[in-house]
Amino acid sequence: MPSFSLEGRSAVVTGAGRGIGRAIAETFAQAGAEVWLCARTGAEIEEAASAIRDAGYKAEALAIDVTDIAGFRAAIDGIGCLDVFVNNAGTNRPKPLIEVEKDDYDAVADLNARAAFFALQSAARRMIALGTGGSIISMSSQMGHVGAPNRSLYCATKWGLEGLTKAASMELAPHGIRVNTICPTFIETPLTRPYFTDPAFREETLNKIRLGRLGQVEDITGAALFLASDASSLMTGSAVLVDGGWTAG
């Protein structure tokens, strides 16, 4: 049997206060990892870490904004062991291309591209310094593989993340560091739930998800555990599409 155990390993998950990030952190903890939950809201992230500890697992809160490049690097350098890094923090401002403002661009690109790049860099530097290899998982999107109306800005950042992953996987492979992405379809989270109050948008979305339902956070945690564990030890530079068939055609 392949091993999905993370016993004895340490993992950092960004954007872990809620939604996909929190679910991944909980799954990693249940698989045996000591998990560092990272988010900018101290109270939210401490509550999430406390809930994991109350369930009998190992978790610590790391209240830091990933857009604070120097602060995040210092926080990562302060962790004694780093085996898994989940580059999950992200955002979106859906708008028609011709209506995107500079503020929109700055907000989305700053988190999805700039912060994601330097967070990955910080994790890679720490893993190289520790000399133990590791797994870096970036949360991309099906929109990193296709286009869609009102998603030009989001697509630009996620396609960029896919390119970063392929390039980084080549540079980091000699250090035993694997770099992959998870590419979800629409997952019901606090961030996406307001979109589905529009019946037309909901219907259009479900028509493109061939399996006929919206994703749930539990649909992503299995892919994350697979990429974090030795079960995926020969995978790097790859994208795991958890999209219900959206990108199949």
Q: What is the pLDDT of residues 118-177, one digit of tens each?
A: 999 999 999 999 999 999 999 999 999 999 999 999 999 999 999 999 999 999 999 999
Task: Give the strand order in the sheet containing 10-14.
Answer: 59-63, 34-39, 10-14, 84-87, 134-139, 177-184, 239-242
Residue pointed to by tokens 């995107």: 100
Supply the pLDDT for residue 191. Answer: 74
d(CA 13, CA 17): 9
pLDDT tens-digit map of 89-106: 999 999 999 999 999 999
- Going along the chain from its start, the domains and CATH numbers come out as 10-233 (3.40.50.720)
**For position 1, what pLDDT does the model report?**
86
Q: For tokens 């958890």, what's the residue?
A: 242
Residue range 177-200: average pLDDT?
91
Closest CA to 36 of 21, 44, 25, 24: 25
Is pLDDT at 87 greater than 90 in this prediction?
yes
| pLDDT, tens only, 195-232 | 889 999 999 999 999 999 999 999 999 999 999 999 99
Residues 36-48: tens digit of each pLDDT: 999 998 899 999 9
Encoded tokens for 15: 């954007």
233 residue type, one letter: S
Show the beta-strand stretches assigned E in the chain: 10-14, 34-39, 59-63, 84-87, 134-139, 177-184, 239-242
Distances (CA, A) of 225 to 55, 126, 180, 189, 237: 19, 21, 12, 19, 17
CA neighbours closer than 13 Å in the CB half-sphere of residue 119: 30
Tokens found for residue 229: 């564990």
pLDDT of residue 125: 98
Cβ contacts of 148 within 8 Å, gap of 6 or more: 155
Give, as one character, the DSSP assignment of residue 215.
Answer: B
For the annotated catalytic residues, the residue numbers are: 154, 158
